[in-house]
Amino acid sequence: MKQIINTTKAPAAVGAYSQAIKAGQLVFTSGQLPIDPATGDFEDDIKAQAHQSMKNVGTIIQEAGGDYSAIIKTTVLLSDIADFAAVNEVYETYFDGGYPARSCFQAAALPKGAKVEIEAIAYIEK
In the set 48, 72, 104, 107, the catalytic residue is: 104
Catalytic annotation present for 104? yes
CB 32 within 8 A of CB 55: no
| Nearest residue to 78 via CA among 52, 103, 43, 42 | 103
CB 106 within 8 A of CB 79: yes
d(C-alpha 43, C-alpha 51), whole Å: 10
Q: Which residues are catalytic, by number? A: 104
